Structure 1
Amino acid sequence: MSAGRRLSASLRITRGAMLIAFLEIGVSLVWMMSNTESRRLLSDWLVATPHNVWREGKVWTLFTTALIEQRFLSLLLQMFVLWSFVPTLERFWGTPRFLRFAVISSVVGAAAGTLCGLVLGQDVPIVGLDPFIYSSIVAFGIIYRRQPVQFFGVLPLTGRQLMIGILGFASLFVLLQRLWPLGAAFAGAILTTVLLLSKRWGPGILWKRWRLARMRRHLKVVRDEPEKWLN
């Protein structure tokens, strides 16, 4: 394969990432172009807030809230990450596992953020793909920790350095703005990613340990007895 074809393949967005991008762009543009009343209606039924989730029981908003980004600049940045780093993870995992990761990290992030808002008395919406985006960067930094990357095509970094730098920026943003529910959403999604990729505490490892322990409990120890002869 020529260098040009390899470059084209590496820049090509994958199916799962494209599906997520189309869904978020479509729903977000509908929200941005709607009037105030329509936005309020969409927020009531699609956006995860402490009030919607924990007081009104609209648990489905934990799944739908990732599809609405209320700020156009944030939408552009999310699309950039979906186009650049995320397809590498999908090629490594495969589309089914990648989509499961996207759903789990988004839902856990929304749940953690809204629960934090409920405890603090801040009815802050948790919207967009940011929890999933930061989870993807953490996953990239863990799996490709020594892989050289060009940040914005200019700054040479390793996968781990990229992860640390972006997490540092996100932490500083949360601390300066005091956006504690948003920080909880990021932390919940990132912690979930670390657990999913852990070789000791990952769900697959824990499941195998549980099955092994269950099998051991059902095993019977047979003691050796001397053979009995009939005279």
Structure 2
Amino acid sequence: MNYRPNYGGGGFLGDIPPAIRQLVLINVIIFLFTALLDAATERTVVNLFGLVPAHLVGKGFVWQLVTYMFLHGDVFHILFNMFMLWMFGQELERWWGFRDFLKYFFVCGIGGGILQVLSTFIFGGANSPIIGASGAVFGILIAYAMAFPNRQVLLWFVIPINVRTLIGGLIVIDLVLGFTNSGGGVARFAHLGGALVGYLYLKQDVLLRKWRQIASQSRSTGSRSRSQKDEPPSADHNAKLDAILDKLKQEGAGALTPEERAFLHESAERARRRQKGQH
């Protein structure tokens, strides 16, 4: 039994979960649009919608904390970010769902932007625009490393390495280059901020608490809606759900089997159906 919902439409794009598909399409469309602009107009767009610390702090351009994620400097920049989002984000979205994944993406991107802005008070560069989805993508990377730390990937498509080592190495590189102010024009603190905020967000057990809330709603709603199409959860069902949630908290998402993930997904869907039936 597979816990992954069918996002289907067929073809390559149809196989990509909807949040990632929409993020990639929006980024590509904006990149192509800005590529058609003349140099002066492009600078104006970047200064208005890229993240310029002096504008954020001095002029209150708070929207830049979101819009900077959708601008990219060149083809390699957008290809790298979208590839990483696609490669490491798909399984997370299929597990978390559309809304939770998007929320996490933007939380990490905004957090990365804030840390990059704060770093300019120490290292300078307050008038330099920051662009790219790398902060949000690093949040996705840290989430994947926490969920599947021992999963093997191919570095440069050749060298097998586990995810925790790979992403830990990327963070160490950003730490060294960021604090030695030798980033080479790369917003290292946006990477670090996205990873840090993502780590803290997940360590607060936000998603785990949501599962527990859904489980609680499932039990309370089930006891009040015996006339509904779905039968209320049995004692065995609740005991199994509690055991899986405890395992998730103690050992992390990577320890769950596909069957356990499927069980969580089905429990959540059942709770949502019952909740809708009350309204």
For normalisation by structure 1, the TM-score amounts to 0.75
**SS of residue in 2 equivalent to 1:85:** helix
Q: Give 1:177's aligned residue.
A: 182
Contact 1:124 1:181 in 2 (8 A): no
Query: What percent of counterpart residues are identical?
Result: 21
Q: Give 2:259's aligned residue.
A: none
Cα distance, 1:202 vs. partner?
4.4
Is it true that 1:49 corresponds to 2:66 in the alignment? no
Contact 2:81 2:137 in 1 (8 A): yes
Cα distance, 1:42 vs. partner?
0.6
Q: Give 1:85's aligned residue.
A: 88
Is it true that 1:60 corresponds to 2:63 in the alignment? yes
Q: Give 2:34's aligned residue.
A: 31
**SS of residue in 1 equivalent to 2:153:** strand
Cα distance, 1:143 vs. partner?
0.7
Q: Give 1:4's aligned residue.
A: none
Segment of structure 1 superposing worse, 156-165 or 20-29: 156-165
Contact 1:62 1:107 in 2 (8 A): yes
Contact 1:117 1:181 in 2 (8 A): no
Superposition RMSD in Å:
2.9
**Counterpart AA for 2:161:** L
Contact 2:137 2:194 in 1 (8 A): no
Tell me the distance in 2 between the aligned counterparts of 1:154 and 1:14: 27
Cα deviation per residue 1:104-155 (whole Å; 9 max; x = unaligned)?
1111111221232245431222211111111111111111012233345432
Segment of structure 1 superposing worse, 159-168 or 124-133: 159-168
The alignment covers a number of residue pairs equal to 198
For normalisation by structure 2, the TM-score amounts to 0.63
Cα deviation per residue 1:86-120 (whole Å; 9 max; x = unaligned)?
11111121111000011111111112212322454
What is the 5 A alignment of 1:103-114?
103-114=106-117
Tell me the distance in 1 between the aligned counterparts of 2:176 and 2:74: 20
Tell me the distance in 2 between the aligned counterparts of 1:93 and 1:23: 21
Is it true that 1:157 corresponds to 2:161 in the alignment? yes
**Counterpart AA for 1:140:** Y
Return closer, same or farther for 1:98/1:31 CA change in 2, 3 Å cut-off.
Answer: same
Q: Give 2:198's aligned residue.
A: 193
Tell me the distance in 2 between the aligned counterparts of 1:116 and 1:88: 32
Is it true that 1:121 corresponds to 2:107 in the alignment? no
Tell me the distance in 2 between the aligned counterparts of 1:205 and 1:85: 20
Q: Give 2:5's aligned residue.
A: none
Contact 1:114 1:125 in 2 (8 A): no
Segment of structure 1 superposing worse, 102-111 or 152-161: 152-161
Return closer, same or farther for 1:73/1:180 CA change in 2, 3 Å cut-off.
Answer: closer
Segment of structure 1 superposing worse, 73-82 or 157-166: 157-166
Q: Give 1:17's aligned residue.
A: 20
Contact 1:51 1:118 in 2 (8 A): no
Larger radius of gyration between Structure 1 and Structure 2: 1
**SS of residue in 2 equivalent to 1:96:** helix
Contact 2:69 2:133 in 1 (8 A): yes
Runs of 4+ in 1 over 6 A off after TM superposition: 204-207
Contact 1:27 1:68 in 2 (8 A): yes
Is it true that 1:138 corresponds to 2:142 in the alignment? yes
Tell me the distance in 2 between the aligned counterparts of 1:178 and 1:160: 23
Structure 1: runs of 5 or more not aligned: 2-7, 208-231
